[in-house]
Amino acid sequence: MNLILAVVCFLLSMTSFVAMAADPISVQPDGTVLTEDTTWRGSIYVKGSVVVAPQATLRIDPGTIVRFSTAFGTSITSQLVIQGRIQAIGTSEQPIVLTSDSSRPQRGAWGGVVLVSTEKKNLIEQCRIENADTGLALFFSSLSLKMVSIVQTRTAVKVRDSLLQITGGTLSDSDIGLESYDSELEARDIIVSSCRKGCLLHRSSVAFSSVSILKNSFVGLEAEECRLKIAAGTVADNALGATFIGGEGQILTTRFMRNSGTALQLSTARLKIQRCRFDDNRQDAVRLEDGRALLFNNSFSSNGGYNLYNAGSEEVNARLNWWGSAAKPVITSKIFDSASIPATGRVLLFPWLLEKPSLDP
């Protein structure tokens, strides 16, 4: 019997040894350039920076943890630079984690993942990125993200002259959640929350579907000279909800709720706003400064300021909306236009809806 127990214990120890060997610890020294296809698995330590050359693909297996630290004798933050291709595909049970090697990491503890002039099929899926300066930075590149969580960074995602597709996931607890310049951006079913500035979009083509922008302490969404389509979204509990400067497009079936400042501010923007809800915002629901916006089939209720404030000189077409009442005195008391100050443009209200419309997508 003792011999049998000894054999069993030996086999178990060998099994443990094999399992450890299958989960290696690999150190990538500063200045490493991956010139051939490479797979990372287990625990990876990056000391300084690693570059994936244009001809190479870096694959990261499910459950892999990659820790970044500065190279010895330098204060330059560590980063992963992709010139070739990255395929980092985790699972819900075994997500990939990219993080700092510090015992007390803070925002900016390492540099982040940088894509430079790579338009290959780059994919990051079921991955968590934390404590980076910029979690993901794209320059003249393309990338697909699926169920990626980026937290506690200075900027979660920065996109310049690139193509980015995001499905699912969160960008949270960062100074800036999403920043885009001169790019094409498509996002579906994501949450941008608890940042200082949620989304900053500049001269980009943007399609948001079921995007929730929540609890951002300065502004939820700011867009300048963009072409936009926003549908079935939520902009709630931010300091300032959303502001658009120039640009054109449409906002459909989106809820603007409980924002501390103005829920939606438009300046010289040509936007069609349809079937949206503006509820319980502490100040004005919609504030316009010219731009020929069109509002119809929207619902306004319980906003602390005006339901619609026309601060420009042009007329605003806001027919066929529900203003929380069918009574003209109640409706007009929550509208600011030339009836309040003659120098401002009129708001065209009549005919208005006599009951609250269905706002489902």
Provide the pLDDT for residue 73.
Answer: 67
Provide the pLDDT for residue 256.
Answer: 98
Taking the C-alpha atoms of residue 329 and residue 163, their distance in angstroms, rounded to an integer, is 49
pLDDT in tens, 134-172: 999 999 999 999 999 999 999 999 999 999 999 999 999
Q: Enter the CATH code of domain 196-361.
A: 2.160.20.10
Q: For the chain, what is the HEC assignment? A: CHHHHHHHHHHHHHHHHHHHHCCCEEEECCCEEECCCEEECCEEEEECEEEECCCCEEEECCCCEEEEECCCCCCCCCEEEECCEEEEECCCCCCEEEEECCCCCCCCCECEEEEECCCCCCEEEEEEEECECEEEEEECCEEEEEEEEEECCCEEEEEECCEEEEEEEEEECCCEEEEEECCEEEEECCEEECCCEEEEEECCEEEEECCEEECCCCEEEEEECCEEEEECCEEECCCEEEEEECCEEEEECCEEECCCCCCEEEECCEEEEECCEEECCCCCCEEEECCCCEEECCEEECCCCCCEEECCCCCEECCCCECCCCCHHHHHCCEECCCCCCCCCCEECCCCCCCCCCCCC
Provide the pLDDT for residue 4.
Answer: 45
CB 266 within 8 Å of CB 289: yes
User: What pTM did the predictor assign?
Assistant: 0.91
CB 250 within 8 Å of CB 274: yes
Provide the pLDDT for residue 26.
Answer: 87
- Residue keyed to tokens 């300084």: 48
Q: Where in the chain is the domain with CATH 2.160.20.10?
A: 196-361
User: In Å, how far are 137, 228, 278 from 254, measured between CA atoms?
Assistant: 28, 13, 9
CA Rg, the chain, in Å?
26
Residue 19 phi, psi (nearest 5) = -60, -40
pLDDT by residue for the chain (361 residues), tens only, comes to 444 444 434 343 433 333 333 455 788 988 899 999 999 999 999 999 999 999 999 999 999 999 999 877 677 789 999 999 999 999 999 999 999 998 888 899 999 999 999 999 999 999 999 999 999 999 999 999 999 999 999 999 999 999 999 999 999 999 999 999 999 999 999 999 999 999 999 999 999 999 999 999 999 999 999 999 999 999 999 999 999 999 999 999 999 999 999 999 999 999 999 999 999 999 999 999 987 899 999 999 999 999 999 999 999 999 999 999 999 999 999 999 999 999 899 999 999 999 998 875 5
